[in-house]
Structure 1
Amino acid sequence: MNANTLWSLRLGFSNRQANKIEEMGIEKFLKQSFSTRYKEQLPSFIDSEPKTLAELKEFKLNVKNAVSEEQRKILKKQINNSIEFKKWWIAKMQDNEYPLREKMVLFWHNHFVATSQKVKVNYWVYQHNQLLRENAFGNFKELTKKIIRTNAMVRFLDNIDNKKDKINENLSRELLELFTIGIGNYSETDIKEGARALAGLGLGNNEAKYRRQFEDQSDKTYFGKTGNWKSDDLVDMIFEQKNIPYLITRKILKWFIYDSPPEELIKYYGDYFRKVNFEIEPLLIKIFTEEYPKKNAGSKIKDPLLFIIQLTDELQIKEYGNGLIAIFLKQQGMDLLNQPNVKGWDGGNLWLTSQIYLQRNKTVDMLSSGKILSRKTTEQNTEVVTAIDRNFEKTNVAVAFDSNENNKQIIEELCNRLLFKTNDSMQKDMEMILKYDFDAKEANAPNAVLRLFNYIAKTPEYQLL
């Protein structure tokens, strides 16, 4: 696999940007990626959602007072809006000329987890998602302050139940353990005192707000400092700690390049992150430009989203809708907006269990043969469609190749595009598919190349980047 294709996959969701990276160079490509704009207009699926506490109260009252059939309709519409949310986001990932911002939104989404299933209010989940988009390349400390004051987060981590006379430690604990500094760098006292500082931070109209009757106004001692601290104060003190940069640099390296990032790189980039005052953009520039020349291909297993978008792109499938991608992601354990727990998707080897690998190979076979789910099937609730329910339609598929090349040249062309390495055994297998007398101009040549692609896409090496 050539470096530009590799980094197009790493910085996006397919190899569509490989030529741009080659033409512009990695630094100019990154600068262009950072300058991308995004629409702030509310998507249509949010229009009918409650957006204020008063509207939410009215919505709940309508559900409560409705007869069973009306209740089902109201709740079904809310579920469908959640599905439309996923499709809307997948479209943004696919349609963006410079997709790094959405790749970072997905990273932050898996760092500051707040699932749709628990938050239940689509508008709050959208606000959370949009905040990640706005601050994708901004300041980590400031983003942390904003995130813990979203309705989605205080709802997801139960801070709405955190009151001065009944403390709930969930948000305080995850702020330290998962969001900022990591296990081993704080005490149980810090968790308890932090929870007291967060007491009373509950739901508001546009963001979470403190309610005076539930606040703890007494002094708290946090990381050795005593005062009547609130949420921003906690974050400021956390970011003064020695080990603050390393949790996030580890996760960024793991998200983009290495499933097991070297400790020396975690510290090296972490020290730089502190030096630039926790600004994400310069950190990403340093990481990507310094890792780009290295021979580090094959160091990461593709996540399901990258796998399916690359697969449909290579097969030039136009009818494979975003609802189908959402179904595939859920089956593969990467359900957007609904991670399995507050830790998010662990990734790494968990993206390639025997079951997941089998599902991927079946999907390769299905799509390579031109089979996609029927429109009728995809119009069902995509959250509950299973493999047993599938009804298929046929579509045209094709893999791009140079018809002026011979068998070995076409094999090399596809390998450079799809595989981080090959071996003699694989080469022999591929030459059995495209034999020495293969004529790329014959009418059946595209089908032979399609068989070659099918073989490549089911190899363990194709699962890596």
Structure 2
Amino acid sequence: MDKNTLWSLRLGYSAKQAKTIEKIGLKSFLEQSFSTPVDSKIPSFLDDSPKSAQEFKESRKKLKASNPTEIKELLKKEAQTSFEMKAWWIEKMYQDEFPLREKMTCFWHNHYVSTFQKVKVNYWVFQHNQILRENAFGNFKTITKKIIKSNAMVRYLDNIDNRKDKLNENLSRELLELFTLGIGNYTEQDIKNGAKGLAGLGIGEETAVYRKLFEDNEPFDYLGKKGNFKIDEMIDIIFDQPNIPYLITRKILKWFIYDNPKEELVKYYGDYFKKMNFEIQPLLTKIFTEEFDKNNAGAKIKNPLEFSLQLIDELNVENPSKILIAIFIKQQGMDLFNQPNVKGWDGGNSWLTSQIFLQRNTVADLLCNGKNLSRAKKEIGENSMMDKKLKKEISVRLIWNKEENNKEIIADLSNRLLFQTDKNNQADFEQILKYDFDSKTNGSDNAVMRLFNFMVKTPEFQLI
């Protein structure tokens, strides 16, 4: 695979940026990616969703006072809004000229998990997503402080139930285990004591706030220090721990390059991250520029977003349905805003079970034959306006050079799509596009499409 194509896929979701990387160089590409602006406007689909704590209370009262039919309609409306938010985000991933911000937002989304299924308030989930986007290339300590104090997070990890004399340890545990230090770098007592420092931190108007009535203001020991600590002070203490950089550098390497990164790489980049005072931008620059020069293609299985958006881009699908993409990746185990648990998507081999591989092959067949993805009415509601906009037939157009012979066309497509090929692959490809292939015949487009369809159903296409 062409190196610029490989890194376009790694830093985005398709080969769209390959020519830009080749033209301006990786470093300039990264600089422009880091400088992309963030749209702070609240999308119109959230107009009717409750935003403040008071509006949320009123919506719950309305729900309790409604009859079963009205309740069903209210819940369906919020679920459809959640689907619109998924489509809105996929649109950003697909259309952005420099998609690295959205790819990093998705990384943080799977690190600081907070699901709509548990939170129930679309606006709070959107706020959570915006914090990740705005701080995608910022400071690890800063983003941790902001996200822990989001309404979505305190609701998702039950800190609204954490109060003096009735402690809930969920947020305290995940703050240490999944968000910062990782298992083995703290004690169970640190978790119990951390819950005291988080007691009373609950829903606020824009961010979570402490409620004095529920606070626990007794001094406690936390990671070797004693005091009456609140959340910001607790996070400062966490970031003084010697092993703080390694959990996140391991996860970044897994997200972008290696399903199984070597521990020496994790430590090497982690030490640099600590030296940079946990600034994410210089860390990403170092990782990407140094790994770019290595022969590491095929070290990661594509996640469902990477698979589907690359396929759609290669086929030049006109105005692809982001709703159907959202449904497809959900079927593949990557439901945006709804990870299976607080640990998030496992990635790696979980993205290529036999069932998922079969689903990918079915989708490749559909798209290559000009058919839309499965309509999956039950996912978006039988009477949904969204469902009425979804077409069965779509326009697809595969770009290839009609001046080339069969071997040249095979080489071009292989370079675009596959991280490696061997003699067996080549023999299979030449069975589809034979030596006497003639691009001037009426069926030539169909023949090259058959070759493309075969290639994207190989194990080699599943890797980057």
Question: TM-score scaled by structure 1?
Answer: 0.96
How large is the RMSD of aligned CA atoms in angstroms? 1.6
Which whole-Å CA distance do the structure 1 matches of 2:370 and 2:110 have between them?
33
Q: What SS does the corresponding residue of 1:371 show, helix, strand or coil?
A: coil
Show the counterpart of 1:270. Answer: 270
Q: Within 5 Å, which residues of 2 pair with 1:327-342?
A: 327-342=327-342
Q: Within 5 Å, which residues of 2 pair with 1:7-156?
A: 7-156=7-156
Instruction: Report the alpha carbon displacement of residue 307 of structure 1 after superposing the two structures with TM.
Output: 0.4
Which whole-Å CA distance do the structure 1 matches of 2:10 and 2:120 have between them?
32
Q: 1:281-301 CA deviation, whole Å, 9 max, x = no partner?
A: 000000000000110000000
- The one of the two structures with greater contact order (alpha-carbon pairs below 8 A, sep at least 6) is 2
Show the counterpart of 2:380. Answer: 382
Which whole-Å CA distance do the structure 2 matches of 1:296 and 1:416 have between them?
15
Which whole-Å CA distance do the structure 1 matches of 2:231 and 2:460 have between them?
46
Do residues 421 (structure 1) and 423 (structure 2) align?
no
Q: 1:146-184 CA deviation, whole Å, 9 max, x = no partner?
A: 111111000000111111110111101000000001000
Question: Is 1:404–1:441's contact at 8 Å kept on the other side of the alignment?
Answer: no
Segment drifting more, 432-441 vs 286-295: 432-441
Instruction: Report the alpha carbon displacement of residue 441 of structure 1 after superposing the two structures with TM.
Output: 2.8
Show the counterpart of 1:435. Answer: 434
Question: Is 1:373–1:392's contact at 8 Å kept on the other side of the alignment?
Answer: no
Show the counterpart of 1:176. Answer: 176
Q: Within 5 Å, which residues of 2 pair with 1:339-378?
A: 339-373=339-373, 377=375
Show the counterpart of 1:396. Answer: 395
Q: 1:9-41 CA deviation, whole Å, 9 max, x = no partner?
A: 000011000000000100000000000012111
Which whole-Å CA distance do the structure 2 matches of 1:74 and 1:341 have between them?
25
Show the counterpart of 2:229. Answer: 229
Which whole-Å CA distance do the structure 2 matches of 1:372 and 1:224 have between them?
58
Q: What SS does the corresponding residue of 2:23 show, helix, strand or coil?
A: helix
Q: 1:318-345 CA deviation, whole Å, 9 max, x = no partner?
A: 1530011011011100000000000000
Which whole-Å CA distance do the structure 2 matches of 1:393 and 1:199 have between them?
52
Q: 1:233-273 CA deviation, whole Å, 9 max, x = no partner?
A: 11001100111000000000000000000111100000000
Instruction: Report the alpha carbon displacement of residue 392 of structure 1 after superposing the two structures with TM.
Output: 7.7
Amino acid corresponding to residue 241 of structure 2 in structure 1 = Q
Amino acid corresponding to residue 68 of structure 1 in structure 2 = P
Instruction: Report the alpha carbon displacement of residue 398 of structure 1 after superposing the two structures with TM.
Output: 2.6
Show the counterpart of 2:410. Answer: 411
Question: TM-score scaled by structure 2?
Answer: 0.96
Which whole-Å CA distance do the structure 1 matches of 2:377 and 2:345 have between them?
27
Segment drifting more, 391-400 vs 61-70: 391-400
Query: Which consecutive unaligned segments of at least 5 residues does structure 1 have?
Result: none
Amino acid corresponding to residue 462 of structure 1 in structure 2 = F
Which whole-Å CA distance do the structure 2 matches of 1:292 and 1:186 have between them?
35
Instruction: Report the alpha carbon displacement of residue 189 of structure 1 after superposing the two structures with TM.
Output: 1.0
Question: Is 1:162–1:200's contact at 8 Å kept on the other side of the alignment?
Answer: yes
Which whole-Å CA distance do the structure 2 matches of 1:260 and 1:402 have between them?
37
Q: 1:63-85 CA deviation, whole Å, 9 max, x = no partner?
A: 22223333222222111111111
Amino acid corresponding to residue 322 of structure 1 in structure 2 = K
Which whole-Å CA distance do the structure 2 matches of 1:54 and 1:393 have between them?
43
Check 1:384–1:353 CA distance in 2 against 1; reply closer, same or farther (3 A cut): farther
Using the aligned pairs only, state the percent identity.
62
Check 1:429–1:125 CA distance in 2 against 1; reply closer, same or farther (3 A cut): same
Question: Is 2:109–2:132's contact at 8 Å kept on the other side of the alignment?
Answer: yes
Check 1:218–1:136 CA distance in 2 against 1; reply closer, same or farther (3 A cut): same
Question: Is 2:325–2:373's contact at 8 Å kept on the other side of the alignment?
Answer: no
Q: Within 5 Å, which residues of 2 pair with 1:167-316?
A: 167-316=167-316
Which whole-Å CA distance do the structure 2 matches of 1:424 and 1:373 have between them?
33
Which whole-Å CA distance do the structure 1 matches of 2:23 and 2:174 have between them?
43
Amino acid corresponding to residue 418 of structure 1 in structure 2 = L
Amino acid corresponding to residue 81 of structure 1 in structure 2 = T
Which whole-Å CA distance do the structure 2 matches of 1:55 and 1:42 have between them?
17
Instruction: Report the alpha carbon displacement of residue 382 of structure 1 after superposing the two structures with TM.
Output: 2.9
Q: What SS does the corresponding residue of 1:6 show, helix, strand or coil?
A: helix
Which whole-Å CA distance do the structure 2 matches of 1:126 and 1:396 have between them?
32
Q: What SS does the corresponding residue of 1:372 show, helix, strand or coil?
A: coil
Question: Is 1:398–1:446's contact at 8 Å kept on the other side of the alignment?
Answer: no
Which whole-Å CA distance do the structure 2 matches of 1:381 and 1:252 have between them?
31
Instruction: Report the alpha carbon displacement of residue 210 of structure 1 after superposing the two structures with TM.
Output: 0.5
Which whole-Å CA distance do the structure 1 matches of 2:295 and 2:373 have between them?
39
Question: Is 1:154–1:160's contact at 8 Å kept on the other side of the alignment?
Answer: yes
Instruction: Report the alpha carbon displacement of residue 315 of structure 1 after superposing the two structures with TM.
Output: 1.4
Q: 1:172-221 CA deviation, whole Å, 9 max, x = no partner?
A: 10000000010001111111111111011111111111011110111011
Which whole-Å CA distance do the structure 2 matches of 1:36 and 1:258 have between them?
26
Which whole-Å CA distance do the structure 1 matches of 2:439 and 2:151 have between them?
58
Question: Is 2:366–2:373's contact at 8 Å kept on the other side of the alignment?
Answer: no
The ranges of structure 1 where at least 4 consecutive aligned residues each deviate by more than 4 angstroms after the TM superposition are 377-380
Instruction: Report the alpha carbon displacement of residue 378 of structure 1 after superposing the two structures with TM.
Output: 6.4
Check 1:383–1:355 CA distance in 2 against 1; reply closer, same or farther (3 A cut): farther
Q: 1:382-441 CA deviation, whole Å, 9 max, x = no partner?
A: 3899xxx9x982333231111111100000000000000001011011011111111223
Question: Is 1:92–1:102's contact at 8 Å kept on the other side of the alignment?
Answer: yes
Check 1:32–1:111 CA distance in 2 against 1; reply closer, same or farther (3 A cut): same
Show the counterpart of 2:458. Answer: 459
Question: Is 1:317–1:395's contact at 8 Å kept on the other side of the alignment?
Answer: yes
Query: Which consecutive unaligned segments of at least 5 residues does structure 2 have?
Result: none
